[in-house]
Amino acid sequence: MTDTNQAKSPSRRRQRFPEISTRAWEHPADRSALVALRKLTGFDDVLKKLAGLVSERSIRLMFLATAVKTSERQFPELYNMVRDAAYVLDLEKVPDLYVTQDPTVNAMCIGMDTPIIVLTSGLVELLDEEELRAVVGHEVGHAMSGHAVYRTMLLILTNIATRIAWIPLGNLAIMALITALKEWFRKAELSCDRAGLLAGQDLQASMRGLMKLAGGHNLGEMNVDAFLEQAEEYEKAGDLRDGVLKLLQVLPQTHPFAVVRVAQLKKWSESDEYRSILAGAYPRRDGDANASVSDQWKAAADHYSTSVKESKDPLIGLLRDVAGGVGTVGGKLRDTFTGARSGAPAGGTDSAAPADDAPRG
């Protein structure tokens, strides 16, 4: 851990956040679940101890044997990055960081009692210094939020719940639970993108790193602004059929798509919440125990409500119409799936005939 006397402060000047609570960067949907799970006092401690007895020891030994543990003599820049991230986010116990030989571009935070961070060689070779700093901060965010602990808790509960699958409609209930879990996992990734931004405090680097995950190392052929425009194009998604396809594509995913992550991070960087954190007005850890579950669920509900209202996705637009009791929903569905123009009459009447100079398809 970097001492508070700043003898080993970050390599470039960045704002530090003493006693910052993870609630500061957690996405509302992620935060509501975590606050509720943290109220299950004792369960997480037991789970950590059980994991530490066998599985974490095994994992740690495996990486000690097969990967490179960063230090002042091995990958010193990465070693300093994880210490810097811990310094900026005020994490007392700095996670060990390993680099493993793997061309796959990936990073992970493993373990519950004593988390470790693992970067693949493919990732290290792909990203520049500031992009890597954001990724390391992302993984430190996972460690601080305890995502591994609470994900494991819920997966255990899900496995228990699968025993009711034989009950009529039981399998549907399990599928709904798994779908909800994956939605939470996706929001947890958005949370840690925010943690990475707070650790690195370089928005362009954070967005470049995410863009490289989609398009590879040839940065000279890519452009962040164009990638954000691509995210806008993806959200609008053509017509209702595209909206349905997007939903089907995202449901199995544990991570949001790259364009979505970039757009969401850019939006958060422009929010009052982010500016307040940089100004030092953020929730502290001493308030975690008193965090209201109901308040967090309300914040999550408000977030989803706002997302639905602001979404340009045609499927979400249809759902808004349904909720508002709009009588043209059936017509929109018919037009979409029959290829008719929106608002055009179903039958050909003389009054609807095109004028002589109107173009004909």
Positions marked active-site: 139
β-bridge partners, 3:
none
Q: 342 is written with which tokens?
A: 């929106």
Cβ–Cβ contacts within 10 Å for residue 291, how many? 18
Cα gap 323→69, rounded to integer Å: 54
Convert 324-359 to b/e letters by CB count within 10 Å (16 or more is b): eeeeeeeebeebbeeeeeeeeeeeeeeeeeeeeeee
Chain centroid, CA 352 distance in Å? 49
- The set of residues, in sequence order, having a beta carbon less than 8 Å from that of 11 and lying 6+ positions away, is 80, 84
- Cβ atoms of 43 and 153 within 8 Å: the answer is yes
Cα–chain-centroid distance for residue 42?
27
- Strands across the sheet with 68-69, in order? 68-69, 96-100, 116-120, 107-110
Strand, coil or helix: what is 360?
coil
